[in-house]
Every structure is written in C-alpha cells, then in structure tokens.
Structure 1
Amino acid sequence: MKYEEMEVEDNMSTVMQFVLLGFPDLPDLQGILFGVFSIIYIIILTGNSLIIILTRLDPALHKPMYFFLANFSFLEICHVSITLPRILVNLWIQDRSISVLYCAAQMCFFVIFRATECFLLVVMAYDRCVAVCDPLHYPLVMTAKVCLQLAVGSWVSEIPVQIRQMCWISLPFCHLNEVNHFFCDIPPILKLACGDTFAHELSVYAVTLLFAAVPFWLILVSYSQIISTTLRLPTARGQAKAFSTCSSHLLVVVLFFGSPAITYSRPKSSHSAGTDKLFSLFYIIVTPMFNPMIYSLQKKDVITALRKLLLKK
C-alpha cells in the first residue's frame, strides 16, 4: 500500500496522501471508460454552455426563469469540472495518488457547488410558484434586482458552513489511505477515519438536512401551491399550460435530489463501495448531461433561440 505519513504524539498517523482506487474491478476497460467519460464531459460542457450563451444573446430569454437557469448551468459545469477531469487523468496515466490538501479542496468545492444548486432550485421553484399563482404581480415581484439578490444569496449562504464541515479531513486515518472511489466524496473518506466517527457522521447528517432536506421541503411547499392553483383553473388547456411551465424544473429536481439523498442518508456501516460509485456516477455525470436536454426539449423559447442562433451561423 502506498502512502506518506507523519507520526504524531499518540502513535497514530495522519495520512498525507490518498490513493483513489477508481474502477479496480475493470482493469481491461480503463481506455473505454476514458473515452466514454471524455465524450460525456464534452456533452456536459457543450450543453450547459449553450444554455448560458442562448440566455445571454436572445432577448426573448431575458426572463427570471432563464436567468436562474443560466446560473444553474454554470454551477453544473463547475461541479462536474471539480471531479471529472481528475477521473480522466487517473484513467489515462494510471496515477491515482492525490494529496490530502487536493482531496479536501475537491470535497469542499464539490459540496459547496451542490449546496448552491439546492438553493438555486428552491429559487427556481419560487419563481415558478409566483408565475403560476400570482401572474399579474409576477413582473413586480421578480424584478431584476430581486433575481440578482436571490442568485447571490444562493451562491454565498452556505460557504462558511461548508468550509467548516471539511475541516475534519485532518482526522487520523490509521495507516489507511486507499479510497475505494473515483473522487474524494464524504462517505468513502469518512469510512477510513480512525476511532469513533459518530460526531462527524452526525455533522454530515446535520449539513445534509440543512442544505438538502430543507431546500427539498421548500420546493415541495412551492409545488403544493402550484398544484393547488392549477387544479382551480377553469379549463384543461389552462391547467396543461400551467403545468408545462413547471414540468422541466420538477423533473430536474427529482433527478437532482434522488441519488444523493440515498448516498448521504445511509449510515457508514451500510455503505457499499459499488453502490456508492453507481449513485455517484449518476449525480455527477448523468444528471448534468441530461439537464440541458430536459430544459431544451420542454421549453419552446429555448428551441426557438437555438434555431435563430444556428440560422445566424
């Protein structure tokens, strides 16, 4: 086992370097995985960048909904770029070592971007709630200033807590430094820690509750009001139109919260490396790849803007 360690006073050791095992059960498929992940990364960058470009260039998309969507697409690019390039490097050069500092930074920024996305999805749900439940006052409520304040609030509100949450990366790891994962995620790192980790697991659950469960509950409250208002509309056509404005966001919410909720809500003893990797692949690769497609196919404004851009080119 490869590791560097520094002796401390209590005869335990603080690991100075981790080894990301990646996909040890698939030694003959490393090249294929590199190709597949490279294509997926290009699709993610292209799709989300296109959303950002369209919302900036087309005046028809200068609306609060698309302003928040552009922010969300930028966050998707950020959080994927924290993990996927490192995975590609590991697959290409087969050097899986990663310093504790790099690992802590990767974990910290990954969680910050994910938490920001959670709050931004709440803001997007609130935007849809105002649009459906109070359409006459929508332009007065969702002004440019309010939209900017909501976006900035989503970006900065969780940073201090998340940075504090990552400080336990300095825990002693009892000579164990092989992380059975393809990036530095909380469950596999915490699994290597020595001694009683109950307090640290509890802090993970508390942060998960604050930055995942609470936003999800707020989204449910918004959609309960949307559904209640939609059902009171006099015509089926009006109901269908109201629901169509929210369907893409609702689908993204289900995909976004599904697999991470399963991964982070289970106790450490029940974590399976294979299962964790499967769920992680879903929420760090699959979801960001499909989100631009979901919004593009559901929103006629986006399709129209894309056609106009292609015709100009």
Structure 2
Amino acid sequence: MWGLQSSYLNSISIFATLMSLTNSLNTITELVLVGFSNHPQAEIPLFFLFSVVYLVNLFGNIALIILVAIDSCLQTPMYFFLCHLAFLNIFYTTSVVPKMLFNLLASKKVISYEFCLAQTYISLLMGAAECIILAIMALDRYVAICDPLRYLLIMNWSMCVQLILGAWTISFFASVVPLYFTILPLCGPYIVDHIFCEVPVLLHMLCADTSLQETMMVIGASGTLLLPFFLITLSYLRILVAVMRMHSTEGRKKAFSTCSSHLTVVTVYYGTGIFMYMRPKSLYSAEGDKLISLFYAVINPALNPLIYSLRNKEVNGALKRVLERWPVSQAFF
C-alpha cells in the first residue's frame, strides 16, 4: 500500500516538475490539485460520501429557501437572513465540491489557474459574508428578545435589506479587493496540496516575501472574523442578562430555543475559521488543513439547514402546512 502511495506521489511530482518547466516559458495554465491522492484507496468511497453530502446541502438549503418563499409565516427578518445564509452555502460548496468530486475519479488531478483564483476569491467572499450575516442574525435575536415590543419597528424590511446589502458590500471590499491588489506570481512546482484553492495554501506558492500578504490576511480576518464575533458575543451576553431576568420558566425556554440553532452554527463555523485564518504560517499542516477546510466548506453548509430545521417548530409547522396544501399524491396525478 505504501509503495502504491509513494509511486502515486512520485508521478504527481514528475508531472508537476514537467509542468513547471513548461510554465517557466509560458504563463501558468494549470496546477496540480493533490486533494486526497495520497490516499488512493479512499478516493472512491470519498467520492460517494461527498456526493451524498453535496446533495444533502443542495436539497436542504434550496428546500429552506423555497419554504420561506411560499409560507407567509416564515417571511420574517430571521428567515430572510437565513435564506441569504442558505444561498451562500449553496454557492460556496458549488465552487468547491464538483471539482473535488471530478478529481477524485480523474487520473490527471489538475485545476486551471483561473478557476484556482476564482475559488480563492469565492472562499474569501463567502467566508466574510457568512461571518457578517451570522452577526446580523445575532443582533436580530437580541432585538427580538430584549426589545420585543419594538422588534417589528426596528427590524423593518427596509432595515433588513440595508443590513444584508451592507453585509455583501463590506465582505467584497474587505476580502476580494485587497487580495486582487496584493496577489503575486506563483513559483513552481505548481502543486496545491489541498482540496481546493484558498489563501493560506497559495501563500506557500508565492515567489516573493509573503509578510505583507500574511499581515493583510490577519487584518482582514480581524475585521471579518473577530469584529462580527465580538458583536455576536456582546449580543448574547445581553440576551443572557435579559433571559435571566425573566420570571417565567416557559419564557426562558422559548428564548433559549430561538437562539440554540444560531449558537450551534456560530460555534462550529468560528471554531474552524479562526484556526484556519488567524494562525501564523509556521502552524500550517497540509493534512490537518484539508480536514478543517473539508468541514467548513463541505460538511458545515450541509448541516446548517438541518440544524435550523430539525428542532425549529416554525419550520416544521410550515413544512406540514405546505405538504397539506400540496400532497405528494398530486405530484403524480
């Protein structure tokens, strides 16, 4: 088995070396995307596993968006933001998973230079947007629990639209724009020892000193990771104080139940995101980072709709109403 893996990696190295010699005379066209090729015996099982996870992601998030769109009871600020989170999950994983699945079956495991850059931009944009949207959802829960009488006045549709437009705009200018102006030429051999292209991986392939890029990555992560995280923490501290002042046990349970799903998603996402983007370059580990990226780019987006729906009475109620309105039997007759 070890001989097979060694032979496989040697072939990749030879191919990458030849490609780097070719690209030294021309512009970069392709890079080797290693993925899980150092475990060739696991590629077929992983293909079926990730295919199922991707389908669950698509079905769950699309179903959630459709459910919110057709059920008036779910057309509230909370589910408006949740729909944007669902769209983000679909778009992010679609930029990563299909290419990863293709490479699991392909003998030539490469990715075009343009698509590699596209994945890098998309991962930064979607990551920043998810952090800010999660912060907005925390603020929404804060207003709903701490100032319920003025909730609809404060979180009106005009405010919701402004918040979500601001989230996408800030994410773009805080992530995509700085990367565009600091990207440097890559040095061979052009091997991406990862499951997709993202900034921490490409830093190891830049020809020049990467101190500026690392500093900008930390600054950008501080703005798009730590600042939203601070707002989330502050919101939940205020929520905790408000809940502890409630005299009704039922009221406390209801308040905590409306926040439990969001808290679960925040904990999982920020735990992996902070470790990935806020650590020094010296702590990089190829195999460990593959697992981390796999979790927050592939598995976590599939879990989000399940987390928000399984224990959510409003979503379950809306699903029952939709099924009663359009029975399955009508689809066949």
Q: TM-score, normalised by structure 2?
A: 0.88
Deviation of residue 264 (structure 1)?
Answer: 1.4
Structure 1: runs of 5+ lacking an equivalent: 8-12
Distance 2:226 2:59 in 1: 31
What are the within-5 Å matches in structure 2 for residues 117-196 of structure 1? 117-167=130-180, 170-196=183-209
Residue aligning to 1:222: 235
Task: Work out the CA distance in 2 between the residues paired with 1:278 and 1:251.
Answer: 19
Aligned to 2:80: 67
Equivalent residue number for residue 45 of structure 2: 32
Greater shift after overlay, 161-170 or 17-26? 161-170
Could you say if the C-alpha distance between residues 101 and 169 of structure 1 is closer, same or farther in structure 2, counting changes exceeding 3 Å? farther
Listed as ranges, the matches of 1:252-271 within 5 Å are 252-271=265-284
AA matched with 2:222 = L
Q: The residue matched to 1:158 in structure 2 has which SS? A: helix
Write the deviation string for residues 47-103 of structure 1: whole angstroms up to 9, x where unpaired.
Answer: 011110110111111111111111111111111111111101111223322222221
The one-letter code matched in structure 1 to 2:43 is Q
The answer to whether the Cα contact below 8 Å between 1:20 and 1:182 also exists between their aligned partners in 2 is yes
Asked if 1:5 corresponds to 2:23, the answer is yes
Find the partner of 1:54 among 56, 67, 75. 67
Deviation of the 1:114 alpha carbon: 1.4
Q: 1:20 to 1:308 in 2, by over 3 A?
A: same
Counterpart AA for 2:23: E
Instruction: Give secondary structure in 1 for the equivalent of 2:212.
Output: helix
Following the alignment from structure 1 to structure 2, what is the Cα–Cα distance between the partners of residues 282 and 215? 21
1:192-236 deviations in whole A, cap 9, x for unaligned? 223421111111111111111111111111111111111111122
SS of 1:199's partner is helix
8 Å contact from structure 2 (residues 60, 305) kept in 1: yes
Specify the SS of the correspondent of 1:196: coil
Query: Take 2:310 and 2:225, find their aligned partners in 1: how far apart are those partners?
Result: 27
1:10 matched to which residue of 2?
Answer: none
Indicate the residue corresponding to 1:251 in structure 2.
Answer: 264
1:110 maps to which of 104, 112, 123: 123
C-alpha distance in 1, partners of 2:178/2:31? 19
Match of 1:290 in 2: 303
Q: Within 5 Å, which residues of 2 pair with 1:76-115?
A: 76-115=89-128
Aligned-pair distance for 1:175?
Answer: 2.0
CA deviation string 1:19-74 (max 9, x = no partner): 11011221122221111111110000000111101101111111111111111111
- Contact persistence 1:256–1:287 (CA under 8 A): yes
The amino acid of 1:272's aligned partner reads S
Contact 2:188 2:205 survives alignment (8 Å): no
CA–CA distance in structure 2, aligned partners of residues 284 and 126 of structure 1: 25
2:108 and 2:182 map into 1 onto residues whose CA distance is 22
Q: How far has the Cα of 1:14 moved from its partner? A: 6.8
Which aligned segments of 4 or more residues in structure 1 are displaced greater than 3 angstroms?
Answer: 13-16
After superposition, the CA RMSD in angstroms is 1.7
The Cα shift of 1:149 comes to 1.2
Q: How high is the sequence identity, in percent, across the aligned residues? A: 39
Whole-Å Cα distance in 1 between the matches of residues 141 and 190 of structure 2? Answer: 46
Distance 2:293 2:59 in 1: 21
> What is aligned with 1:305?
318
1:279 has 2:297 as partner: no
Contact kept? 1:107, 1:166, Cα under 8 Å: no
**Does the aligned pair in 1 maintain the 2:142–2:235 contact within 8 Å?**
yes
User: 230-239 or 69-78: which moved more?
Assistant: 230-239
Whether 1:239 aligns to 2:257 is no
1:182 partner SS: coil
